[in-house]
Amino acid sequence: MNPLDHIELTGLRCFGRHGVFDFERENGQDFVVDLRLSVQTSRAAETDDIADTVHYGELAEKVVAIVGGEPVNLIETLAHRIATAVLEDERVIFVAVTVHKPQAPIPAQFADVSVTVHDGVPERLPGREGLPR
């Protein structure tokens, strides 16, 4: 089996209204999302056709819509929602999603708060087609 290739989209700044406190939902704040997708890029490399890979412009738009959508209390929930949406593309085998909340209401000086979740569909690995799930 060949090692998987990766597509990374990092530092995607999105506005959302997530948080436990009312003022976080009322005022909103910026969140930063990093994605690492495990994919096979050989087909896209052969054809040089964007239709044969994950279109990272469309991926960015999808993430911005999720972050800007229905508010949640926890960035853990937000990260899992993003991971689920990314995996809707059957070319994505595994995904790591990091959601940063740099303006989290913490009563101490800090550089960043983030949560990273990992999800995937191992059945999509090359050579696993037709194997029982």
* 62 annotated active-site: no
The one catalytic residue in 18, 81, 100, 101 is 101
Do 118 and 96 contact (CB within 8 A), yes or no? Answer: yes
Tokens of 2: 């060949």
DSSP notation for 105-116: --SS--S--EEE
What amino acid positions are annotated as catalytic residues? 101
